[in-house]
A = this chain, B = another copy of it.
Amino acid sequence: MYIYIENIGKYEAKEVTIKGWLYNKRSSGKIRFILIRDGTGIVQSVIAKGEAKDSIFEIADKITQESSVILTGLVKKEDRAPGGYEIVANDLQIIQLAQEYPITPKDHSVEFLLPLRHLWLRSKKQSAIMRVRHEIIKACRDFFDNQGFICADGPILTPAAVEGATTLFEVEYYDQKAYLSQSGQLYNEATAAALGKVYCFGPTFRAEKSKTRRHLTEFWMLEPEVAFIELDGIMDLAENMVVYIVERILERKATELKTLERDLSKLESIKKPFPRITYEEAVKIVQKKDKTFPGGDDFGAPHETIISESFDKPVFIHHYPVDIKAFYMKRDPADESLSLSVDMIGSENAGELIGGGQREDNYETLLKGIKERGLSEDTYAWYLDLRKYGTCPHGGFGLGLERTIAWICGIKHCRETIPFPRMLDRVYP
């Protein structure tokens, strides 16, 4: 019976067939240990000269790393084997004997591995990250679906900027110009007015001019948007979501977190409530360690580090000055210089995981903001329409998927959290 390795525990003492690739092998006198991976797990087969058929022993000697094989044999419980089971081989066939594989079990530099990303993904660590990524995506969607949100994805090809024109990628769209979406938020505001509570979850693009460990030019963003919600409700929603995701990964991806040598205690402490501080309070925290930081500026990576290290949980920072936030942020009626905005900085120096807030719902104020920033009224005419026909308090946030994966996996660099990272100098493979 053809089975996947992840299900091997159900087939003890039964004959099974595994199709996969040689992950590794070692020999000890007249015994050969071969490790086969099939994408769902790794299983060991012990082949002893004299016991196994000669033909199998010969194949075990000749087989190279990443050769594709079909292995048939009896499943045996074996506590010393990886995964707790091994296969006593009755038959072993090579589909293709692989050429010398460029990625050997020794350590390679990331510079060496990135152009080989299509093969690097086969490694134990990288495939564990991809499995965690999968579960995080599913947890994000389930969290919102279970509450009746509608997935309504915005377009990638857009006529205008959401987050500032300096990081736009330009596309030749027939005889006009279009731009790759930096965020689905503006479109979410339209769909939220149609469907009540929505989210979009797809790739977004920023033509970043610098290389940092947290920036990809193409990254996935989860963006919920709710009609009739205010700032506190937005923070509640984000907090509940993050706790849900972390719990789910702890529950379902223990094996992968172990492979990644993740300190589970750090994740287990991610419980409600998260601290909620104002921008002004955050500035004070920063200034305690960095006296040169001028209040009023946006936080850079070093400042986020200071804030993150002051808490063992993610922290919400709200009420940023209007001037350092986007044109669509709602002004605080109690202090027009502040915005009803909120960011969430991850624990363990994970950087900004979430950015969001309440949106400006007043037509005149929004129009003024658009004009003040030199943006085109025509381009945003449809967005202004949302304030003409039944405007209401509304808001949401964007969660950066790759930063969230890096945080949960305990990985420093976002480039390992996406199947094919795109950076300033990388658009291949």
Contacts and interface: CB of A to CB of B under 8 A. Distances in A.
A343 interface: no
A191 interface: yes
Interface in A58-105: 66-68, 95-96, 98-99, 101
A333 interface: no
A228 interface: yes
A178 B427 contact: yes
Most chain B C-beta atoms within 10 Å of own C-beta, residue among A99, A171, A418: A171
Contacts of A38: 196, 227
A152 B130 contact: yes
A420 interface: yes
A6 B133 CA distance: 32
Contacts of A156: 156, 180, 203, 205, 218
Contacts of A95: 390-392
A178 B196 CA distance: 37
Contacts of A40: 148, 195-196
Interface stretch (A118-126, A261-269, A310-318): A118-126
A112 interface: no
A298 interface: no
Nearest to A155: B420
A194 B122 contact: yes
Contacts of A154: 419-420
A4 B228 CA distance: 11
B428 A382 contact: yes
Which of A122, A190, A196 counts the most B-chain CB atoms under 10 A from its CB?
A196
Given A137-B151, A156-B203, A218-B155, A99 B389 contact: yes
A138 B150 CA distance: 10
Contacts of A412: none
A145 interface: yes
Contacts of A33: none
A428 B180 contact: no
Given A118-B190, A127-B195, 14 more contacts: A21-B193, A39-B196, A101-B389, A121-B191, A122-B194, A130-B152, A141-B141, A155-B422, A156-B203, A169-B173, A170-B171, A173-B427, A174-B424, A383-B429
